Amino acid sequence: MLSIPREYLETVANQKRLTSFQKEAFIERLANIEISDLVVAKILNISRDRYSSRMTQVYKKFDVPTGNIPGKARLLFFEVLDMYKKANPTAESTSQLVNTAIDDLVEDVKQKTQELINAKCAQMQILDMNKPMEVEDIFTEVKITDQISSKRRIKLQELVEKYEQLEQSNNSKFTIARLFEGAKISGVELIEKYSKLVILGRPGAGKTTFLKYVAVFTNRSQILPGHVPFFISLKDFQDQASPIDLRTYIENDLSLCEVNKEIFNRLLKEARIIFLFDGLDEVRKENFSRIVRQIKELSQIFSKNRFIITCRLAASEYTFENFLEVEVCEFTKQQISMFVKNWFKAKQAPQKSKNFLNYLKSDKEISELATNPLLLTLLCLVFDELEEFPKNQTELYKEGLDILLSKWDASRTIERPETYRKLSKNKKETLLSKIAYATFEKNKGLFPKETIETEIRKYIENLPRSIHYPEDIETDCSSILTSMVAQHGLIVEVAKGIYSFSHRTFHEYFVALKITSTLDPKEQRNVLESLAIHIVDYRWQEVFLLASCMLENADFLIRLIKYEIDKLVEQNENIKAFMGWLKDKSAAAENSENSP
């Protein structure tokens, strides 16, 4: 039973000059804070109204808010508990009493806010899901690194050499992120170890899902027991009809759960809050400074509490003091397997997970896309419906690109302050295809900032003047590059000033798109002829397959390929001799069949 000694309560009552009736109600109320006011009134053998009248005067003596405010008795209890602690600072029983009281308060607030947390965080419904799924059903452990890719200072040639080493030791495709696979830590372990974190990641990396998982399971005391989680979507916060500060926004939410702001302040004082700020990159430019300032003030004033902020890579250059910046890693094979099994188990179709994973093993291109949780979700949705992947994979890639370029933000009504916002999805794809084509052959698809800005510059110089002004071209080049990295994640900064496509599959797709979308017949002929000469280069194998699927009629490309193969045969004496031998053998076999 949580109580302050009665003799001390009597002393305090006398100090506050309570009347005998007030003193009686005061002592009985705080002697056992866990029982209800109605029970206390019955113990005193008085009506509830008379009890309330006496306690109202007591609350006023202790400057505790009166009126229809939930938790008044607990606030009074903590006021007196603070006095008791000062009067008995060294007593072990005092420390135990204080800790128990705070723990009980935390559990009480978590119970009251559970419905709110579940409403905000317990379910996910993304892409074309016909109904939401429980976060705990599909959540897969997140791996995190403190090695932020865009902050590495490495020369391009060193990156190329490292890429070649990995290429030789891997039979399957690997994403560019694997160039720097190092020590990784579980996301849950990380938040238990560090109190202030900025979690960065590419679009669809699972930042929001992770934060929601933390909120739900902290509320259940399975993560960071002894803390109360508050999940704040920064997009929702900025969209409030009337601008209020973050603290008031949280207090308003708590009031709906019958938790008053004084209780919130007590939890802050005791460092029992974990703030989960989701989507800093979703904050519009006009609100950014205000919201960053408020997060900064909260984290400085209540520095002993816990703070986690999620944001897309390259979306913000602001650095929060005393926060550790970390990056969400792409899914490993083990994480992909776990996600798929969880997904189809939740769908009550576990056999599909085995079939899905078998398909991945035999398809390098699709397995590469599966390292991104958002694209893996798309793959699961497609497979759940068809029980296979489309034979023409360009359709699958198109759907994935549509999600990254537009649908993912649109489905969550996010407005991004993009410099190239006037470019349609098709124009963005055209720009990406030009970049892809210009960078595909050299340096294993890695390219310096100057190269990509050159392609952007050439593209926007040819756009209608309604989209740009000549004097702004240089500024636009840099801004467009930043937007491309931050907003759809198709291009990533591998090291400081060095970029690549996030997935080799997308690089290949955009090269094929550039080749097949050329409108001028003469120019397309030249492009196809340039493609055909790479017929024996393994790096172009997937481009050939994609281009063949994307062309309305691939006959000309097939003829070019045959022509290049014939040339190779003619130029290689060994192959030429073998073909001659094969021809002779064939003729001899035919003659033997025709002889009587």
Q: Structural domain of residue 266, as residue ranges?
A: 141-155+174-328
Domain check: are 465 and 377 in the same one?
no
Domain check: are 497 and 531 in the same one?
no
What integer is the mean pLDDT of 166-191?
73
Residue 192 covered by a domain: yes
Domain check: are 151 and 278 in the same one?
yes
pTM of structure: 0.86
CATH number of residue 305's parent domain: 3.40.50.300
Which pLDDT tens digit goes with each residue over 61-86?
Answer: 999 988 888 888 989 999 999 999 89
Domain check: are 289 and 199 in the same one?
yes
Question: How does the average pLDDT of the chain come out, rounded?
Answer: 87
Residue 530: phi, psi to the nearest 5?
-65, -35
| pLDDT value, residue 92 | 78
Compare 268 and 577 and report the one with higher pLDDT.
268
Least confident of 54-63, 472-481, 568-577: 472-481
Which pLDDT tens digit goes with each residue over 491-509?
Answer: 888 888 899 998 888 999 9
The two three-digit tokens of residue 271, written as one number: 């460092």
Domain check: are 268 and 150 in the same one?
yes
What integer is the mean pLDDT of 96-112?
91
What integer is the mean pLDDT of 348-368?
89
Residue 411 has pLDDT above 60, yes or no: no
Residue 142 CB-density burial (10 A; 0-12 exposed, 13-18 middle, 19+ buried): buried
Query: SS3 for 545-579, per residue?
Result: HHHHHHCCCCHHHHHHHHHHHHHHHHHCHHHHHHH
The two three-digit tokens of residue 273, written as one number: 């809050």
Residue 466 has pLDDT above 50, yes or no: no
| pLDDT value, residue 589 | 76
Spatial separation of the C-alpha atoms in residues 570 and 575, rounded to whole Å: 8
Overall number of domains in the chain = 5
Residue 150 covered by a domain: yes
Domain check: are 49 and 76 in the same one?
yes
Domain check: are 540 and 596 in the same one?
yes
What integer is the mean pLDDT of 113-134?
88
